[in-house]
Amino acid sequence: MKIAIIGANGFIGSRLIEVFHLGGQHEVVAIVRQPCSLALPARFALDWRLGDALDAASLANALKGCDAVVHAAIGDPRQIERMPAILCAAATIAGVNRVVYLSSASVHGQNITPGTTEATPLKANFPIEYNNAKVRAENSFFAAIRKHRLSGYALRPGVVYGPRSRWIADLVNELRTGQAWLYEDGSGICNSIYVDNLIHAVSCCLTATQGAGEAYLVGDAETVTWANFYDLAADDVGVPHDHIHALSQLPEFKKTFREKVENAVAQPWMQALLPAVPFKLKQSSKRILASWNLPPSPEAWALPGTPRPHITQEVALLQQNRWRFPHTKASQALGFAPPVTFAEGMRRSLSWLRFATLDPTRQP
């Protein structure tokens, strides 16, 4: 099967290229927006094409001759929302019927209501705009596949980790700098999925004979806590577990004026009005927002203090989660069965980071 991969230069797209091409499972077509994004895909002797995920004509031209397409492109909230409809229109023009869209478990939020499944209605009222964008994008995807009569599958992975993942690199950096923390001893559920397990789910969608037109939650086979995730990384870099900040309370997160404006601009009704706004007014508004609420410059004479935990709203919500997503639907309809254990996935991820940072002090 000839598979087009949109976003072939990204974390997941790059791994899709490696697994499908090196494993001989499929003939791969790497699709990127510009030539400079070919650094990783061009390592291999494979077909590559330029295509803009925000332009149907450009993307349709890049998809010609393919049997299926996997959409792994990323972007800002506005781009995220626009991409699915463009993807399906381009696939229709190119004659590609099977479409696999990488959505996200974030459509249910980070701190998930117990009992949540794929059947739980989606609501775009989360405090993090990325979540709302993914909800609207997924709704757009299903509307588009119905309109164009495509065989479409949407996958909802949780925390995707592996080589090149920010979850691994950022965690190790915070452990080393004394900024890592765990809420309530890390007892919250981490809905993790090793990148190769996600690629297995993509493969299941490409060959499935049933289940089209549906969304599927996918993750690792094990129930993983945040303590499990952090402890394995801490052991690998030689950081004692008691050096991880233990938190029993989390800060209250309030949106700045700048964030409120940016979220308002991302709303569909505002996007419909923007074409009528003069270009110079848009540019001046962007400059004003860019300078709003900039962090104060550090005092040059100040001595370094005790490292403080680096707490983001996303991770604060994730660590409060007490619900593990069920993967029953993906298992029954697609044959999804994660081939890589959590322990092995973490071992591979940390081994990659050891290699990437060329750190001779770390044990293999």
Q: Over range 327-354, report the average pLDDT.
A: 97
Q: Over range 83-94, report the average pLDDT.
A: 98
pTM value is 0.87
Q: What is the pLDDT of residue 293?
A: 61
pLDDT-derived band at 116 (thresholds 50, 70, 90) equals very high
264-301 pLDDT tens trace: 665 565 666 666 677 667 677 766 766 666 666 656 66
54-69 pLDDT tens trace: 999 999 999 999 999 9
Query: Three-class SS of residue 1?
Result: coil
* Distance in angstroms (rounded) separating the CA atoms of residues 308 and 224: 26
- pLDDT value at 9 more than 70: yes
DSSP state of 296: P
For 293, residues 6+ apart whose C-beta sits below 8 A from its C-beta are 256, 257, 258
Q: Over range 32-60, report the average pLDDT.
A: 91
Query: Three-class SS of residue 83?
Result: helix
Q: Which two tokens stand for residue 184?
A: 């309530």
Q: What is the pLDDT of residue 104?
A: 97
Q: Kindly report the three-state secondary structure assignment for every residue of 25-47.
A: CCEEEEEECCHHHHCCHHHCCCE
Domain range summary for the chain, segments of one domain joined by + = 2-167+189-223+323-342, 257-290
Pick 163 or 357 by higher pLDDT: 163
Q: What is the pLDDT of residue 278?
A: 75
* Distance in angstroms (rounded) separating the CA atoms of residues 91 and 71: 11
Q: Over range 308-323, report the average pLDDT.
A: 96
Place of tokens 């981490």: 190
Q: Over range 224-243, report the average pLDDT.
A: 96
H helix or E strand, kind and range, residue 3? strand 2-6
Q: Domain 2-167+189-223+323-342 sits in which CATH superfamily?
A: NAD(P)-binding Rossmann-like Domain (3.40.50.720)
Contact 87, 99 (CB under 8 A): yes
- pLDDT value at 202 more than 60: yes
Query: Three-class SS of residue 333?
Result: helix
- pLDDT value at 259 more than 80: no
Angle of the 166-176 helix axis to the 226-237 helix axis, nearest 10: 60
Q: What is the pLDDT of residue 11?
A: 95
